[in-house]
Structure 1
Amino acid sequence: MIPSYLQDLFQKQSYNPDNFFLIAGPCVVESEELLEEVASTVSRICARLEIPYVFKASYRKANRTSASSFTGIGDDNALQLLNQIGKKYHLPTTSDVHAHDETAPAAEHIDILQIPAFLCRQTDLLVAAAETGKIVNVKKGQFLSGPSMQFAVDKLKKAGNDKIILTERGTTFGYQDLVVDYRNIPWMQEHGVPVVMDCTHSLQQPNQTSGVTGGNPQLIGTIAKAAIAAGVDGLFIETHPNPAVAKSDGANMLRLDLLEPLLEQLVKLRKAVI
């Protein structure tokens, strides 16, 4: 069941309330042209399949392996583009925030503040995000269990905000790999909040000696199908028309033209398991 605070965001969309919701878009704001292509394509697909849709792109990438990696086109420019895309396509939008003083400026332009997994224990960041009154999506740290995310939920609620999403994105498995423990989906749902499966970052191969994170995008469908079967509320999928030339996380993004057939399969699976 999609909670009322998410239903309010989807009020301009026609969707099946029994469907999972989708958070999707490119990893980072690279250009206006990229945002237009992805938003127009994915919103069309989701409208046809009656999937409630949140557009995602990071206005700045702070968590990069190498100091030479692309971080963004400038905060103000990127946030304004996200705002513009949301209004044009009647889509709620989301992006990462990395520090407490970023939350208020970001909240002026986006609908959901996303807390990166590495920062899910940062109390000042969680409190500042909660105080904006926006929905806060906290990614489970790669070093944490689902039950331990209760403490992140408690921090947000004590700051006066119960509009919360939790996202599973894999658990550290050695130095350069992740593994998904699907028990975390029902465990985090026990905290009384919707749970999302991040189908792309959970396939990362971080900390490569090349300074560029690797990935296994050919397994995105496997991760997504298993999450639907486990009863997840939403899916997070980063997608790009040409991941090979993407400026961030190209190694684990889904090629845009592969998204529609995957979502068709997932909608059928959802109908079979609810």
Structure 2
Amino acid sequence: MSSLPGLFNLKYTPGKNFFLMAGPCAIEGEEIALRIAEKIVTITDKLEIPYIFKGSYRKANRSRLDSFTGIGDEKALKILEKVNKTFGVPTVTDIHESDEAAMAAAYADVLQIPAFLCRQTDLLIAAAKTGKVVNVKKGQFLSAGSMKYAVDKIVESGNDKVILTDRGNTFGYQDLIVDYRGIPEMRSFGVPVVMDCTHSLQQPNQSGGVTGGKPALIETIAKAAIAVGADGLFIETHPDPAHARSDGANMLHLDLLEELLVKLVRIREAIL
């Protein structure tokens, strides 16, 4: 089974630096997407961190009917494509139904399977058959070991370009907790493993119907993940989280990203 290098021209070497998936939760518009991408590209180029721009073209899993879901599929996907062409970085976006895979694959480099859908066989097969890199988020309700079967479904469908992302485990009704033993366990499957530093700090099922979060702990989650050998980090970031259209409660303010990444690079260097 192949690992990450060469899958989408990402200059990532296992055992050297970690890679970063970062961007807004959802694509809100072209201007803000390009602004966020430009800032992160500037930072990651300086720190020599391989970078993948993240943005969901649609948010299907919302607590309330009136929650923001997107600006239109094709419009958002074309913005992802423009980010790629403007800055030369790969992009990652979620898919939710099997028939979305081919559509999203026409614009994005990495197809992401949301945590709640990681056991959906038809969805995993459809993503695999696009030939794109498939990033599967570990379900909050699953052990790390059980994610081997998600990897197997994709590989047995003819695609060995797989990433696994941990985003915490359900801890009661309204909280999540991270079990860092899962990172080395999932890496043993021969695939790169990412820590989702923002969604793992969500506080779901709040009484108001809007998910809460603890963004002050993003640095803690990220440091621990790098220390135990995570290949990459997933961080949702925005220049104004309080007014982000989706998941603002657990996002990192964009102005704080560079300082955090500098610290994480030092940890990476220290453990090599």
TM-score bin (small chain): over 0.9
| 5+ long unaligned stretches in structure 1 | none
Q: Is the 8 A contact 1:5 1:163 kept in 2?
A: no
Structure 2 distance, partners of 1:229, 1:77, is 39
Q: Is the 8 A contact 1:29 1:78 kept in 2?
A: yes
Task: Determine if the alignment matches structure 1 residue 213 to structure 2 residue 221.
Answer: no
Q: Is the 8 A contact 1:92 1:110 kept in 2?
A: yes
SS of aligned partner of 2:49? coil
Counterpart mapping for 1:147-162 below 5 A: 147-162=145-160
- In structure 2, the CA distance between the partners of 1:49 and 1:17, relative to structure 1 (3 Å rule), is farther
Q: Is the 8 A contact 1:177 1:204 kept in 2?
A: yes
Letter in 2 for 1:49: L
Q: Match of 2:100?
A: 102
- The one of 143, 146, 163 aligned to 1:145: 143
Question: How far apart are 1:2 and its partner, in Å?
Answer: 6.1
Q: Match of 1:10?
A: 10
| 5+ long unaligned stretches in structure 2 | none
Q: Is the 8 A contact 1:15 1:47 kept in 2?
A: no
Q: Is the 8 A contact 1:217 1:252 kept in 2?
A: yes
Question: How far apart are 1:5 and its partner, in Å?
Answer: 3.6
Question: How far apart are 1:228 and its partner, in Å?
Answer: 0.4
TM-score normalised to the size of structure 1?
Answer: 0.96
Question: How far apart are 1:33 and its partner, in Å?
Answer: 1.2
Runs (4+) of structure 1 exceeding 6 A deviation are 14-17
Paired-residue identity, %: 63
Q: Match of 1:164?
A: 162
Question: How far apart are 1:36 and its partner, in Å?
Answer: 1.1
SS of aligned partner of 2:21? strand
Q: Match of 1:125?
A: 123
Q: Is the 8 A contact 2:18 2:50 kept in 1?
A: yes
- The one of 108, 114, 117 aligned to 1:116: 114
Question: How far apart are 1:151 and its partner, in Å?
Answer: 0.6
Structure 2 distance, partners of 1:242, 1:2, is 35
Letter in 2 for 1:4: P
TM-score normalised to the size of structure 2?
Answer: 0.97
Query: What is the root-mean-square deviation of aligned Cα atoms in Å?
Result: 1.5
The count of aligned residue pairs is 271
Q: Is the 8 A contact 1:205 1:213 kept in 2?
A: yes
Q: Match of 1:59?
A: 57
Question: How far apart are 1:3 and its partner, in Å?
Answer: 2.7
Letter in 1 for 2:266: K
Counterpart mapping for 1:218-237 below 5 A: 218-237=216-235
Letter in 2 for 1:178: L
- The one of 242, 245, 250 aligned to 2:243: 245
Letter in 1 for 2:22: A
Task: Determine if the alignment matches structure 1 residue 196 to structure 2 residue 194.
Answer: yes
Q: Match of 1:39?
A: 37
Q: Match of 2:71?
A: 73
Structure 1 distance, partners of 2:75, 2:66, is 21
- The one of 81, 84, 93 aligned to 1:83: 81
- In structure 2, the CA distance between the partners of 1:254 and 1:245, relative to structure 1 (3 Å rule), is same
Residues 194-228 of structure 1: CA deviation (Å, up to 9, x unaligned): 00000000000011110110000000000000000
- The one of 47, 50, 74 aligned to 2:48: 50
Structure 1 distance, partners of 2:21, 2:85, is 16
Question: How far apart are 1:9 and its partner, in Å?
Answer: 2.5
